[in-house]
Amino acid sequence: MRVVADIPNPHVKITLHSYNGKYILKLEKANLEQLYKIEETEVMGDEGAKALIDEEFIEGVLNRFQDMRDIFVSTVRRNG
């Protein structure tokens, strides 16, 4: 897997990778991560993949991270 770019963002760490005909968009916050796999044919190169990361996408990602955290905290409380 090749790192294509580290994409600056104040809320999450974003890394764009290239692997086996796909771009892999990796977003990290604290101990959680989200991966999005994009066929290279679906976007116009590295810049096309980066262009997917707009404000609305980041807002959705942050909401998903909050949901992930809440679910994990709940299971730890029930089972810890």
Q: Are the beta carbons of 12 and 26 closer than 8 angstroms?
A: no
pLDDT in tens, 39-53: 999 999 999 999 999
pLDDT in tens, 16-36: 999 999 999 999 999 999 999
Q: For residue 37, give its domain range.
A: 2-79
Tokens of 31: 């101990």
pTM surpassing 0.75?
yes
CA contacts within 13 A on the Cβ side of 78: 6
Tally of structural domains, the chain = 1
CA contacts within 13 A on the Cβ side of 50: 11
